[in-house]
Each structure stands twice: as structure tokens, then as C-alpha cells.
Amino acid sequence: MRNWPRLAAHLAWLPLALLIFDAATGRLSVNPVQDLTLRTGKAALVLLILSLACTPLNRLLGWKWAVALRKPLGLYSFLYVCLHLLVFAVADYRLDLALIGQTIAEKRYILAGLASFALLLPLALTSTRAAMRRLGRWWRRLHRLVYVAAALAVLHYLWLAKVWREPALWGAVLLILLLARLPLLRRWRARSGAPPSGTARPTSAQGHPDAHSETAQQAQHGEHRPRPVDQRRGTQGARQEQGDDPTHDEQTLPELRPEPLGPPLPHQIARAPGDDQE
């Protein structure tokens, strides 16, 4: 059950399975090439936005399981981008390079889509742990380009669609995800007192919430536990460290106790051995 996020990420095969089923049973629209292009492109955009939402969900809501979905969702998004480009180049333009070049020069939405693909390609190639170790700190800087690629993908969809409401909605979602990564929001989370994601709560007695309540109860009842004294130290050094006066300590050595003043009390007078018999 711990691996359920990674297993759930494989549901990204569902749009492709439905597309193949509709194509095999003749359930596509009158223009099947356009239907294939739109459905693969929309699946790529949705999966890309979902992969970008994993980090804010972990930081703001503490959903650690969302981190495991980030990489597979990004790779599945790149898969649908490749299928989208393949349908465009093979099924629509029959690999006619001259016609493809002319179309790219005339239609700006294709140029934005190709720019998004060019940015996602190195990100997909460097998604392995070996590439992460080799690139070091540059790996994180490189993968920040995913937001630029997502913005170009939304712009590609906006210029392509005749109705701008749906691409504008995805653009608004992308803008919210970008704002969630601002340092101001992180400072607000730190001031709110919520523990940052990925950190464990302290297990010591000082970090436990019951420790403060116990200390407060002892202060109300006037109880105070003395600080333990090292047994290896001398008695006089321990008292000097605690600030006690040896003459007023109940456990003072006999030679340090003061002599009582005045005559002895009757019960303190020693009896002779024969007094009990009298």
C-alpha cells in the first residue's frame, strides 16, 4: 500500500487506451486526425499541470505522497507530447518537411508547441538518478524550465483553440502553481507555525507537548524538582554550586552543625543506668 501513488500514476495510460479503443471501433469524429491531435495534446497538458502541482501540495498541505507522483506524471506527459507531435508530422503532414516548415513559419501556435517540446526533451532525458548525480546543482536549475515549457504549452493551446475559456482556465491554474513557489508564501507558512514538509517532530522530552504542561502544573502547585548533582563531586562543592549554606542544611555533617544555645531541655538530659529501676 505504500507504493499506491506510483501505481495510481499508471492510470495515465487510460486516455491512450480509450483513444485506441475509439479508433479501433470507429468512434472518432468525422476528422479522425484532428481528433487524435486534440486528445493527445490535451492529455499531455493535463498530466504536465498535475506533475507541477505535486510540489505545492506537498509544501502547503503536507501531502508527501504527491512527491512520488511528480516524476511518473511528467514522463507520461512527455509521452503524450511525443504522440501529439507524431500525429502532427506523420498522420497529418505525411512527413513532408517542406510543408511542415511552411506551416511552422505561418502558424505561431505550432512554433510555441515545438518550443515547448524542445524544452521538455532534455528534462525527460535527465530524469534519471544517474543524471541527477552528474549534474549536481545544475539539475534543479535545468528542471525549472518545466514551467516555461508549461507556459508555452498553454500558449500553444490558447492560439489553437477557437474558444479561449478552457485554455485560459489551464493558464490560471499554472499561474496559481507559479505563485505557490514564491518565497513570500514560504515565509507565511513558516510564520503560521506549521512544520515544514519532510521534517519529523522532536521526540525528546523538551519537544514533547506534554512536557510544557507538566512544567506548568508543577509551577502552579509549588513543586520543584531539584537538579541532579553529580555523585563524583564533593559534598561541599555540590552545595556551593547550588548556592546552599551548609549550616542550614538538614543533611549537614555533624561537625558542621552549630551547638545548641542555653541549658539542655529535660528530655535531652541523659539518664543514669539505675534511674529506670527507681
- For the chain, how big is the Rg over CA atoms in Å? 38
> Would you put residue 216 in left (φ > 0), alpha (ψ -120 to 50) or beta?
alpha
pLDDT tens digits, 107-122: 999 999 999 999 999 9
Report pTM.
0.66
Mean pLDDT of 27-37: 91
Residue 143 identity (one-letter amino acid)? H
Residue 88, Cβ density class (10 Å: 0-12 exposed, 13-18 middle, ≥19 buried):
buried
pLDDT tens digits, 98-108: 999 999 989 99
Q: Do 96 and 52 contact (CB within 8 A), yes or no?
A: no
DSSP SS3 for 258:
coil
- The pLDDT score that the predictor gives to residue 164 is 86
Mean pLDDT of 65-87: 94
Q: 62 phi and psi, to 5 degrees?
A: 75, 25
pLDDT tens digits, 166-221: 999 999 999 999 888 776 555 555 566 544 444 444 444 344 444 444 444 444 44
Residue 62 identity (one-letter amino acid)? G
DSSP code of 251?
Answer: T
Residue 145, Cβ density class (10 Å: 0-12 exposed, 13-18 middle, ≥19 buried):
middle
- The pLDDT score that the predictor gives to residue 46 is 95
The fraction of the chain above a pLDDT of 90, given in percent, is 47
| 49 Cβ neighbours under 8 A, 6+ residues apart | 150, 170, 173, 174, 177
What angle do the packed helices 165-179 and 32-52 form, to 10 degrees? Answer: 20
**How much is the mean pLDDT over the chain?**
76
Residue of 41, 45, 69, 72 lying closest to 56 (CA atoms) = 69
Give dist(CA 147, CA 156) in Å, integer.
14
DSSP SS3 for 272:
coil
Element (H, E) at 81: helix 67-86
CA 6 to chain centre: 17
pLDDT at 77 over 80: yes
Q: Do 159 and 108 contact (CB within 8 A), yes or no?
A: yes
pLDDT tens digits, 225-271: 444 444 444 444 444 444 444 444 444 344 444 555 555 555 554 45
Q: With the C-alpha atoms ordered 53, 147, 179, 129, is the resulting torsion angle positive or negative?
A: positive
